Amino acid sequence: MSDLIRKSASEQAELLRTGQVSSVELTQAHLDRTAAVDGDVHSYLHVGPEAALAAAADIDRRRAAGEQLHQLAGLPIAVKDNLTTTDAPTTSGSKILEGWVPPYDATVVAKLRAAGMPILGKTNLDEFAMGSSTEFSAYGPSKNPWDLGRIPGGSGGGSSSVVASFQAPLAIGSDTGGSIRYPAFVTGTVGAKPTYGAVSRYGLIALASSLDQVGPVSRNVLDSALLQDVIAGHDPHDSTSLPESLGSMAEAAKKLDVKGMRIGVIKQLNGEGFAAGVSARFNESLQLLQQAGAEIVEVDCPSFEYAIAAYYLILPAEASSNLAKFDSVRFGLRVTPEGTPTIERVMAATREAGFGPEVKRRIILGTYALSSGYYDAYYGSAQKVRTLIQRDFDAAFAKADVLVSPTAPSVAFKFGEKLDDPLAMYLNDIATIPANLAGIPGIAVPNGLAEENMPSGIQFLAPAREDARLYQVGATLEKLHEDVWGKRMIDFAPELQEAR
Amino acid sequence: MAKDELMNYEKALEQFEVVIGLEVHVELNTNTKMFCGCRNEFGNEPNTNVCPICIGLPGSLPAVNKKAVESSIKIGLQLGCEIAPNGRFARKNYFYPDLAKNFQTSQFDEPIAFEGALDVEVPSGKVFTIQIERAHMEEDAGKLTHVGGSTGRIQGAEYSLVDYNRAGVPLVEIVTKPVYGAGAEAPELAAAYVRLIREIVKSMNVSDARMERGNVRCDANVSLRPHGQEKLGTRTETKNVNSLRSIERAVRYEIQRQAALLAKGVAITQETRHWHEDKGATSSGRPKSDADDYRYFPEPDLVPVQPSKAWIEEIRATLPENPADRRKRVQAEWGFADLEFRDVVNAGLLDQIEETVKAGAKPQAARKWWTGELARIANTQDQDVTDLEISGAYVAELAGLVEAGKINDRLAREVLTFVLAGEGSPAQVVAARGLEVVSDDGALIAAIEAALAKQPDVLDAIREGRMQAAGAVIGAVMQAMKGSADAGRVRELLIEMANK
């Protein structure tokens, strides 16, 4: 493996800026790595070498011509396959969209192109981002680069594994209940879910519109901050996008200082239910932060008990409506059944064949939850819980500048372990879901090895629009860790076998 | 279509009380659609005014058209409604191929305008106050054309074509509360109400209000109950009523049909019915029960519409005079008798006459042309008189030519047909076709003498005071001069000749 691709995104960008490497060379190095390892890891659903190299060559030409370029120009990136791209198929991990090439770019994709970042390919995910392991991808799971027998997290297991296996310096993910942060936790990488509305959702194939948020995936905190700065900003195409700028995340990630910062440990997301190793690493990090001058306090969020229940009503309800458009009429798969093909029968046959089991499960749940006579009891109650959770956060943020918990209860599980037990699968999201319900930002940062020498992680949460605090505390902890460990978290990962 | 049994109308009213409810859809004439930047235009090539948003491609998101909100507020204010400070959109979920997302973005429990009232005058001169329950914003669906099969309906068609140009066109749906007490005048009231709505939206230029293009569509709910019974009868909702005449006929038909069934003890089926203009009858559509479950829930992709008080007042200040006040004012200005004025109102000709009078015509002349010859021409062409391609200015010019003696009534009617055929203004037509009356005495005297040669007794008769005898000569002169003679001048010349 070339040393070049082991470097962080910001280091690679520096080499590009100083002319020590060309974008074509850098892009090719990552494509070579993909050719060598992705047969095993399966991060990508689609790799687009031609488009990526053409974009890279364009940037090299413009740089040679002395053009003023974006600081990340020429740095290649991978994009989760639920964001629309005009030059690559976009499937959202579903058979119902197999081969569909959208006629428009997602706003985030357009921003990457405008910054001059070549898009390497589209990364794997659980179908329509419904899952925690990529086992529900219609195109087969991605593997955890730390142990190919284990899951890379979900739904964004493609994006987490693609950076963890050095196939890309950066990736785009989407987080509806933890789909960026949980994969970061199990792969020893960084992932952030920005404040709801900080990044445009236009072109993100919706799972649950009120919960979805696009965010960065990387190997260190500064790299995620740099990427969030590229993709954030108001978009008139997305009515829910914030009108104001949240400032520079990269600047925040360079403030390695937590003195006087009040860090609130969420009582409900600590101890019981969390694996011993995960908890031990968590407590060690609290000590590091305290030694660095932070004030550790405990906060009480009693409504979190109902978060998963509320989430699994709101999400399926919105998803059941968002997924109604997949009907064979205008795009995507069309299945014509035997006999008289009426529109109802064609729609039904297409959806029967095109959707996988988890998608069907959630469509049925959501349709039921919105049904007349059940709406108040299910969807209505879930919305009330959502309000209570927001109040819990408000109270907690009165006592603390940021909140903290382990990102998830336990290290990466083995393939198949939870496939037949949806409830056990849903519990992986216990610590990540509350942020989505409240629309607040969260970041997952590597937090040392726990059970079976697998990575664990720590999550920081901040009030809405205060994403900068997360990058500051996350980068500080990352630095404290490196001082203790003598190397980066990702450097503990075993070498992958490269195919010839 | 089986023939329905109908009860005699008077008999039906003796036995039952009629309750109606009206839902009027008004298509707004904004430049662009409700949630995207596509043109809102009628009559273009199918599927040319479309984009990822209005055909519901994955990843696309709606953004509200502010102009459409403004038009909706105007309508609400002119209907005497309250404007909601926090109007929300909601999704109405159902599968149909003309509905791109398989849900309609509409409003449910938080409409933009609510609780209004409108005084509606029926041809008898009676005024009914119709309570408006709400006016809400929504998007139109695409247009389906069913090919093959005998009914033109989706059932039995070989295939169907769908045009999404109309998908996403902004609509305001105005819903009345149940209307009681109209009795035998219920059909006229329904038509008069829709006429008034048309007048209102046209006067504010928020809709083209052309019923034949579907700019204004009415669904008429009709139910009957025995006199004295409190409980409402089962209602039917007749759709597809696309002219004022049809509304009147459809309501009358439903009264007679339902009365016949109820008299036989047959229960009314709650259903939608379709109006067939050619057959003058309604037929059963799909059953529509109150249990129809659209799984409404708040649209998560849109933020609430929160018009400020200042904005609402700004809009209120721009509103034209409300139609009832205007009617009172112009009747007084024009000096029309009640009956004359009612004819004008019932024909929907207020705008036209006002424009004609403004252009210089005497009010009675304007009235005469619009309710007389122009109405007759429209009727022979099966058109609404208000849809004739002629301006008030032209009608005023025509009336002016008659008054100045340039043309007579018969010539004026001829001129009118050429004006309607697009040959220019009345003066231009008169000049180009040489239709001016002949008042050149020399030509007239020659023609009179020729006529007198055949009827030598006429001069004697006139001398004896029998003026009616002149008629035969005038007629002959007119015939000889192909109608271009000035009849008044012929009479004067005859008298002069008799008295010589």
d(CA A183, CA A186): 5
Residue A209: list chain B partners with CB under 8 A. 300-301
Q: Do A344 and B154 touch (CB under 8 A)?
A: no
Confidence tier at B291 by pLDDT (50, 70, 90): low
Q: Do B301 and A206 touch (CB under 8 A)?
A: yes
Q: Do B295 and A372 touch (CB under 8 A)?
A: yes
**Chain B touched by A86 (CB under 8 Å):** no
Residue A344: list chain B partners with CB under 8 A. 95
Confidence tier at B151 by pLDDT (50, 70, 90): low
So what's the pLDDT on residue B290? Answer: 53
Asked which of A265-269, A444-448, B9-13, B157-161 is least confident by mean pLDDT, the reply is: B157-161
Q: Do A201 and B61 touch (CB under 8 A)?
A: yes
Whether B289 shows a pLDDT value over 60: the answer reads no
Positive or negative, the CA dihedral A211, A216, A218, A223 is negative
**Cross-chain CB nearest to A106 (options B59, B300, B301):** B59
Confidence tier at B213 by pLDDT (50, 70, 90): confident
Which stretches of chain B sit within 8 Å of chain A by CB? 52, 55-64, 91, 93, 95, 97, 100-103, 154, 160, 162, 291, 293, 295-297, 300-303
- Pairing relation of β-strands B90-93 and B297-298? antiparallel
Confidence tier at A331 by pLDDT (50, 70, 90): very high
So what's the pLDDT on residue B433? Answer: 85
pLDDT (average), residues B5-32: 96
So what's the pLDDT on residue B431? Answer: 86
So what's the pLDDT on residue A427? Answer: 85
CB B72 within 8 A of CB B112: yes
How many interface pairs between A and B have CB atoms less than 8 angstroms apart?
103
As a whole number, the mean pLDDT across chain B is: 91
Could you say which residues from 306 to 335 on chain A have a Cβ atom under 8 Å away from some Cβ of chain B? Answer: 317-318, 320-321, 324-327, 329-331
**Cross-chain CB nearest to A84 (options B59, B291, B300):** B59
B53 to chain A, minimum CA–CA distance in Å?
Answer: 10
Q: Look at phi and psi of residue B292 and say left if phi exceeds 0, alpha if psi is from -120 to 50, else beta.
A: beta
So what's the pLDDT on residue B489? Answer: 82
Nearest CA in chain B to A97: B58
CB A5 within 8 A of CB A219: no
**Domains present along chain A, CATH in parentheses:** 3-257+406-492 (3.90.1300.10)
Within 13 Å, how many C-alpha atoms sit on residue A243's CB side? 1
Q: Over pLDDT 70: what percentage of chain B?
A: 98
Whether A104 shows a pLDDT value over 80: the answer reads yes
So what's the pLDDT on residue B153? Answer: 73
- Pairing relation of β-strands B143-147 and B103-106? unpaired
Mutation target to probe the B interface, by most B beta carbons within 10 A, among A107, A210, A330 is A330
A185 to chain B, minimum CA–CA distance in Å?
Answer: 27
So what's the pLDDT on residue A237? Answer: 97
CB A33 within 8 A of CB A166: yes
Packed helices B186-203 and B66-78: angle between N→C axes, nearest 10 degrees: 130
Q: Do A372 and B293 touch (CB under 8 A)?
A: yes
So what's the pLDDT on residue A149? Answer: 97
Compute CA A443 distance to the chain's CA centroid, rounded to the nearest angstrom. Answer: 10
Burial bucket for residue B267 (CB in 10 Å: 0-12, 13-18, 19+)? exposed
Residues 6+ apart with CB under 8 A from A391: A303
- Taking alpha carbons only, the member of A428, A495, A478, A450 closest to residue A183 is A428
Could you say which residues from 217 to 236 on chain A have a Cβ atom under 8 Å away from some Cβ of chain B? Answer: 236
d(CA A259, CA A294): 5
B427 to chain A, minimum CA–CA distance in Å?
Answer: 53
A1 to chain B, minimum CA–CA distance in Å?
Answer: 37
As a whole number, the mean pLDDT across chain A is: 96
A438 to chain B, minimum CA–CA distance in Å?
Answer: 14
Q: Cβ of A357: how many Cβ atoms within 10 Å?
A: 12
Nearest CA in chain B to A197: B301
pLDDT tens, position by position, B83-122: 999 999 999 999 999 999 999 999 999 999 999 999 998 9
Asked which of A153-167, A176-190, A312-326, B427-441 is least confident by mean pLDDT, the reply is: B427-441
Length of chain B: 500
What are the E-state strand segments in B90-207? Answer: 90-93, 103-106, 113-121, 127-139, 143-147, 159-163, 170-176
So what's the pLDDT on residue B70? Answer: 98
Whether B439 shows a pLDDT value over 80: the answer reads no
- Taking alpha carbons only, the member of A421, A313, A323, A308 closest to residue A368 is A313
Whether A471 shows a pLDDT value over 60: the answer reads yes
User: With helix as H, strand as E and coil as C, how does chain A read?
Assistant: CCHHHHCCHHHHHHHHHCCCCCHHHHHHHHHHHHHHHHHHHCCEEEECHHHHHHHHHHHHHHHHCCCCCCCCCCCCEEEECCECCCCCCCCCCCHHHCCCCCCCCCHHHHHHHHCCCCEEEEECCCHHHCCCCCCCCCCCCCCECCECCECCCCCCHHHHHHHHCCCCCEEEEEECCCCCHHHHHHHCCEEEECCCCCECCCCECCCCCCCCEEEEEECCHHHHHHHHHHHECCCCCCCCCCCCCCCCHHHHHCCCCCCCCEEEEEHHHCCCCCCHHHHHHHHHHHHHHHHCCCEEEEECCHHHHHHHHHHHHHHHHHHHHHHHHCCCCCCCCCCCCCCCCCHHHHHHHHHHHHCCHHHHHHHHHHHHHHCCCCCHHHHHHHHHHHHHHHHHHHHHHHHCCEEEEECCCCCCCECCCCCCCHHHHHHHHCCCHHHHHHCCCEEEEEEEECHHHCEEEEEEECCCCCHHHHHHHHHHHHHHHHHHHCCCHHHHCCCCCCCC
User: With helix as H, strand as E and coil as C, how does A300-361 read?
Assistant: CCHHHHHHHHHHHHHHHHHHHHHHHHCCCCCCCCCCCCCCCCCHHHHHHHHHHHHCCHHHHH
Nearest CA in chain A to B155: A342
Compute CA A477 distance to the chain's CA centroid, rounded to the nearest angstrom. Answer: 20
pLDDT (average), residues B142-154: 81
End-to-end CA distance of chain B: 76
Residue A371: list chain B partners with CB under 8 A. 293, 295
Confidence tier at B1 by pLDDT (50, 70, 90): low
- Pairing relation of β-strands B113-121 and A170-175? unpaired
pLDDT (average), residues B163-183: 97
Q: Look at phi and psi of residue B392 and say left if phi exceeds 0, alpha if psi is from -120 to 50, else beta.
A: alpha
Q: Which residue type, as a one-letter code, is found at position A268?
A: Q
Positive or negative, the CA dihedral A220, A203, A119, A112 is negative
- Taking alpha carbons only, the member of A337, A26, A57, A239 closest to residue B66 is A239
Q: What is residue B297's three-state secondary structure?
A: strand
The one-character DSSP state at B345 is H
A374 to chain B, minimum CA–CA distance in Å?
Answer: 10
**Cross-chain CB nearest to A325 (options B100, B162, B300):** B100
Q: Do B58 and A97 touch (CB under 8 A)?
A: yes
A103 to chain B, minimum CA–CA distance in Å?
Answer: 8
**Cross-chain CB nearest to B102 (options A82, A206, A324):** A324
**Chain B touched by A375 (CB under 8 Å):** yes
Burial bucket for residue B368 (CB in 10 Å: 0-12, 13-18, 19+)? middle
B467 vs A367, residue with greater confidence: A367
Residue A331: list chain B partners with CB under 8 A. 57-58
Q: Do A324 and B55 touch (CB under 8 A)?
A: no
The one-character DSSP state at B67 is H
d(CA A254, CA A490): 20
pTM for this entry = 0.87
Whether B136 shows a pLDDT value over 80: the answer reads yes
pLDDT tens, position by position, A67-82: 999 999 999 999 999 9
pLDDT tens, position by position, A113-161: 999 999 999 999 999 999 999 999 999 999 999 999 999 999 999 999 9
Whether B55 shows a pLDDT value over 80: the answer reads yes
The ipTM estimated for the assembled molecules is: 0.95
Residue A210: list chain B partners with CB under 8 A. 300
Mutation target to probe the B interface, by most B beta carbons within 10 A, among A196, A234, A327 is A327
So what's the pLDDT on residue B115? Answer: 97
**Chain B touched by A83 (CB under 8 Å):** yes
Whether A274 shows a pLDDT value over 80: the answer reads yes
Q: What are φ and ψ of residue B63, in 5° steps?
A: -140, 135
Q: Do B100 and A202 touch (CB under 8 A)?
A: no
**Cross-chain CB nearest to B101 (options A202, A320, A325):** A325
- Taking alpha carbons only, the member of B279, B256, B238, B125 closest to residue B192 is B125
Angle A295-A301-A305 from CA coordinates, rounded to 5°: 140
Asked which of A88-92, A296-300, B184-188, B465-469 is least confident by mean pLDDT, the reply is: B465-469
CB A448 within 8 A of CB A281: yes
Whether A500 shows a pLDDT value over 70: the answer reads no
Q: Look at phi and psi of residue B459 and say left if phi exceeds 0, alpha if psi is from -120 to 50, else beta.
A: alpha
Q: Do B97 and A343 touch (CB under 8 A)?
A: yes
CB A333 within 8 A of CB A353: yes
Residue B301: list chain A partners with CB under 8 A. 206, 209, 239-240
Active site residues per annotation of A: 80, 155, 179
| Tokens of residue A432, six digits | 């990540």
So what's the pLDDT on residue B229? Answer: 93
d(CA A186, CA A156): 11
Q: Do A330 and B57 touch (CB under 8 A)?
A: yes
pLDDT tens, position by position, A174-229: 999 999 999 999 999 999 999 999 999 999 999 999 999 999 999 999 999 999 99
| Tokens of residue A347, six digits | 């729609």
B232 to chain A, minimum CA–CA distance in Å?
Answer: 23
CB A271 within 8 A of CB B97: no
pLDDT (average), residues A472-485: 97
**Chain B touched by A238 (CB under 8 Å):** yes
Q: Do B100 and A208 touch (CB under 8 A)?
A: no
Nearest CA in chain B to A376: B297
Confidence tier at B238 by pLDDT (50, 70, 90): very high
pLDDT (average), residues A257-286: 96
b/e A261-287 (16+ beta carbons within 10 angstroms → b): bbbbbbebbbeeebbebbbebbeebbe
b/e A313-339 (16+ beta carbons within 10 angstroms → b): bbbbbbbbbbbbbbbbbbbbbbbeeee
